[in-house]
Amino acid sequence: MMLTKPLTRKGIQALSRSGEAAVAAPPPASAAAPPFERDLRLDLFRGIALWLIFLDHIPSNVVSLFTIRNYGFSDATEIFVFISGYTAAFVYGRAMRERGLLIAGARMLKRAWQIYVAHIFLFVIYMAEIAYVSKSFENPLYNEEMGIFDFLRQPDVTLVQALLLKFKPANMDVLPLYITLLACFAPFIWLLLRRPTLALAASALVYALNWNFDWNLPSYPEGTWVFNPLAWQLLFGFGAWCALGGARKLDRLINSRVTLGLAVAYLAFAFAIVMTWTFPRYAHYVPRWLSDWMYPIDKTNLDVLRFAHFLALAILTVHFLPKDWPHLKSPLLRPALLCGQHSLEIFCLGVFLAFAAHFVLEEISASIETQVAVSVAGVLIMSAAAGLMSWYKKIESQRPGSRRPPDADLAGGEA
Partner 1 sequence: MKKLVVILASLLAAAPVAASNDHDQACAVADNLVTADFGFPHVAAAIAAKKLTIVVIGSSSSALLDPTGTNRGYPARLEAALAAKLPGVAVKVIAYAKPRETAADMEKHFAQMLAADKPALVVWQTGTVEAMLRSDVDDFRAVLDDGINALQQAQADVVLMNQQYSPRTELMTSSALYADAMRFVALQHQIPLFDRQAVMRHWGELGTFDLNQATKKIDTAVRVHDCIGRLLGRLILDAANLPSSPDHAVQ
Interface contacts to partner 1, rule CB under 8 A:
59-60, 62, 65, 70, 126, 129-130, 133, 136-149, 169-171, 214, 219, 221-224, 226, 275-281, 283-284, 286, 288, 291-292, 295-300, 355, 358, 361-362, 366-368, 371
Going by C-alpha positions, the residue among 197, 204, 227, 211 that lies closest to residue 77 is: 227
Cβ closest to partner 1, residue 92 vs residue 347: 347
Other residues' Cβ atoms within 10 Å of the Cβ of residue 264? 13
Going by C-alpha positions, the residue among 389, 249, 262 that lies closest to residue 315 is: 262
- Minimal distance, residue 232 CB to partner 1, in Å: 15
Q: Element (H or E) spanning 282, and its range?
A: none
Cβ closest to partner 1, residue 210 vs residue 341: 210
Residue 401's Cβ-count burial label (10 Å; 0-12, 13-18, 19+) is exposed
Cβ closest to partner 1, residue 303 vs residue 409: 303
Q: Which residues have CB under 8 Å from 339's CB, separation 6+? A: 46, 47, 50, 51, 346, 382, 383, 386
Cβ closest to partner 1, residue 172 vs residue 198: 172
Please say whether the beta carbons of 378 and 410 come within 8 A. Answer: no
Terminal CA-to-CA distance of the chain, rounded, Å? Answer: 27
Cβ closest to partner 1, residue 300 vs residue 317: 300
Cβ closest to partner 1, residue 107 vs residue 299: 299
- Minimal distance, residue 77 CB to partner 1, in Å: 13
Cβ closest to partner 1, residue 223 vs residue 405: 223
Residue 302 backbone zone (phi > 0: left; psi -120 to 50: alpha; other: beta):
left
CA distances from 83 to 60, 99, 236, 256 (A): 27, 24, 8, 23
Residue 93's Cβ-count burial label (10 Å; 0-12, 13-18, 19+) is buried
3-state secondary structure of 80: helix
